[in-house]
Chain A
Amino acid sequence: MSKGMDSFPFSAIVGQDDMKQALLISAIDPGIGGVLAFGDRGTGKSTAVRALAALLPKIRVVKDCVYGAEPLSGRCTCEACAAFDPGKPRLSRLVPTPVVDLPLGVTEDRVMGALDLERALAHGEKAFEPGLLARANRGFLYIDEVNLLEDHIVDLLLDVAASGENLVEREGLSVRHPARFVLIGSGNPEEGELRPQLLDRFGLSVEITTPVEIDQRVDIIRRRAEYESNPEVFRKKWSRKEGAVRRKVSQGRAQLEQVKTGDQMLTRAAELCVALNTDGLRGELTLIRAARALAALKGDKQVDVHHLRAVAVPALTHRLRRAPLDEAGAAVRIERAVSEVLGDD
């Protein structure tokens, strides 16, 4: 699945612009902290995530390193990395950015890694078999139906996501390894709430609704049918558009450093968060980062009000305190504050 080569093209997805924009922004700046896509059944949430894998630029990793460590600066404890002389350049190769599925029903030993049972039984060796967190290092970890994830797995994820490394103390093993990943989650809120601690880990959250426009629905059905009947031909047909999106992502990544954020914009972002009374600084930081990533995606050199406006809802929706006197939904309240603080378009 991390190949992304056998998936529906991202560029062929009809509508769902909010989700597509959020995913692309996350791809440009993984530091934003991922995307939570919540909404109706059958709206292609997982299709979009799987399609994203094909758009991600390749990354350079130390040859044979199980954690995909960065060749220049990555500190790593694995056997392959330990074999290199310190200070000498390490052999490296290009690999696709990992996109790892965390399936429901996963057991703890497979999430964090555990004693390699086969080697233990066959040879009496005590070896560590890395888990999914190792595989997801420097990539994306995708959890479909994230709101149905079992509590002890959630705890484990929260711990690792906060520290960026996985610490294993079990079955007589003591192992630590880097585990930095962008969390992507999707789910249907009707089937269960998401724990607030986990909700807070997501940089952006988008709400997904079923399209009710006939034209859109007809397009969805026709493209889907075309894809099903011959995926190869369909992907070829979309390959130019797909290539254009892929280029936008890699150019955006390259330009992200150069995007300027003026003091005025920082002030505006702060004012917006004050007006909305968001929790802590995280919302403000996410807002700025997302606005920068969006500017980079669009090829703009400077963050302006349009960028802030476009990312306000996904960056802040899940960070609002419940307002007992305000019946309106979070998105509506943000829209109101945006037009007060940033003015209308």
Chain B
Amino acid sequence: MTDPVETAGTNPPEHADVFDALQALLVFAVDPVGLGLCVRGRHGPGRSAVLRAIKSLYLDTPFRKIPCHIDEDRLLGGLDLGATLAAGKPLVSQGVLASTHDGVAVLSMAERLPGRTITHLVHAMDTHRVRLERDGFSSILPARFAVVALDESGDDEPGLDPRLADRLALQFDADRLSPEAVDELPLTPADLLAARKGLRDVTMPKRVIEALCRTALGLGITSMRSAMQCVQAARVLAALGGETEVGDEQAGAAVRLVLAHRAVQLPIPEAEEESTEAPPDENKADDSNAESTEQKPLDDQLIDAAMAALPDGLLELLASGAHRERSAHVARTGAAVQGPRGRPIGDMPASRDARLNVLATLRTAAPWQKIRGADKRLAIRRSDFRTTRRKSSTQSVNIFVVDASGSSAAQRLSEVKGAVQLLLGDCYVRRDQVALIAFRGASPELLLAPTRSLVRAKRELANLPGGGATPLAGALDATRELARQVTKSGQRPVVILLTDGRGNVGRDGTPGHADSAQHTEAAAHELRAASVSTLLVDVAKRPRGRGRDLAVALNARYLALPYASSQSIVEAVQASGVAA
């Protein structure tokens, strides 16, 4: 799964990934047969931990590894020649499919399974039976099992047979998972039983089903099965949270888990953006907090959810110029890394019968991992425990903070602008608001207060001159202040900071080399304390230096803007399906 393009670098530990994977694992555990799981990645500690976890959940059931070279006789069963000769009457040997009944079938190197094996396998998955009509035997045996496919194919390889992929709802990458995180899967057999029992009573409002259907089609996923799996995953998530009706939040999470990795297109806005100040279907005022009864907002939330789960391929795309049908989104951290919300119940003695909401607890704990010094084990504190469903987040405001100083040389600046243009296109698709802060000379400047008008954002960006000193510390302060206002108005700030990390102006605006670095660091710590999702795009010619340090100080996702020509930016713009 490592990208050949090295410029993108590695990111700090990805708790968003861990969270998604664990969530997929939990959902799988509740309805393993109905959903199915594909674990991507090579043999390694993460993958082993996943298999261990699944094994521990199904202690008393068959756990069969099915090798990719298995032959038809062993798969389906047939005449047992040895036993037949010994007994003097025909004896049948049961095939692997039938002997996995009520258990888990693990497909090693699933991407290499031959077509015929797939045919038999999916037939058993669909009918929960194996029809044996071989060697004079005729029987129907029960074969109801869960499937875990281990997919070791690289990014440029075909991957699973589409028939199998279509039937496995959940998928995640095990490469980035730390075994400790999986081993401490916060799920007891009692939780599992409760969720399975609760699942029967979970209802699904028609409006949510409609929104999920529209979202699937919008992402270019035509398979009926995927839509059904997504509905089922949403129900499971509700059951895990102790709910009896699927709400918007579970729908969003189900989209991330089931649909995001299948997306082949972005829902493209129909109107030319130059002619519209706001997205076509929103002719209301900039009142983003309106929970109207129309379905649009939910659709948008679901699309949001899918986008947030897409891999961060955008900037790598710039470097490689590779055309992918996928576009990525910057604020990937946004969906999983959020400040704590909901109602903590404080002290939780075991005698209390409040049900722990496992997912919410994990999500609450995710952003604090680094601060708590968690390197591999997930550090979950009492304060993370959640029993209530939290209101789902409203709208994101993407705050672009652009370094236009001399250290970002003029030609770099034009590339930075190109990158921002691209990201703006994404924001447009997601109906996010954007704000723009630029910094050069003595102090940062708020070029654009939060708005949905991309035209204005682009105009401001185009007119942005470059050169001068770098008031980085002040820019961080300004960003924190804007983020605070955004949070106060009930929206979720996401910061995209484009800089080389070399500040040379103090917090008060005086150019002073001596303590500007400390000032920058102090400002960074304060911004981090506000726990705002942050992405730092390193625009240095030779990334990895101060930009990286700043990302660590901010606890931000880190990406290096590769050295790209404006031509490749243009190509990438077209490739991402967003009109330039």
Contact = CB atoms under 8 A, between A and B. Distances in A.
Given A104-B119, A218-B210, A117 B90 contact: yes
A217 B224 contact: yes
B200 interface: yes
A222 interface: yes
Interface string B242-264: 00000000000000000000000
B224 A105 contact: no
A220 interface: yes
B296 to A, nearest CB: 14
Contacts of B571: none
A222 B209 CA distance: 8
B162 A41 contact: yes
A111 B133 CA distance: 8
Contacts of A214: 210, 213-214, 217
B386 to A, nearest CB: 28
B206 interface: yes
A107 B227 contact: no
Interface in B138-166: 138, 140, 162-163, 166
Given A43-B224, A109-B136, A225-B231, A121 B123 contact: no
Contacts of B217: 212, 214, 217
A114 B136 contact: yes
Interface in B96-122: 115-116, 119-120
Contacts of A107: 78, 133-135
B76 to A, nearest CB: 5
Interface string B217-247: 1000011110110010000000000000000
A46 B227 CA distance: 19
Interface residues of A, number: 44
Most buried by A among B136, B138, B166: B136
Contacts, number: 105
B131 interface: yes
A105 B120 CA distance: 8
A229 interface: yes
B88 to A, nearest CB: 6
Contacts of A115: 136
Given A40-B222, A117-B90, 20 more contacts: A41-B223, A41-B225, A42-B223, A44-B224, A101-B131, A103-B123, A103-B132, A105-B134, A110-B133, A110-B134, A110-B135, A115-B136, A118-B89, A118-B90, A210-B222, A212-B217, A217-B217, A221-B224, A221-B228, A225-B228
21 contacts: A42-B166, A103-B123, A104-B119, A104-B120, A105-B75, A105-B76, A105-B116, A105-B133, A107-B134, A110-B136, A118-B90, A121-B84, A129-B136, A148-B115, A191-B115, A218-B209, A220-B224, A221-B213, A222-B206, A225-B204, A225-B231
For the complex of A and B, list the 5 residue pairs with the smallest distance between their C-beta atoms, beginning with the closest: A110-B133, A103-B131, A42-B225, A106-B133, A107-B134
Interface of B: 72, 75-76, 78, 84, 88-90, 115-116, 119-120, 123, 126, 131-138, 140, 162-163, 166, 200, 204, 206, 209-210, 213-214, 217, 222-225, 227-228, 231
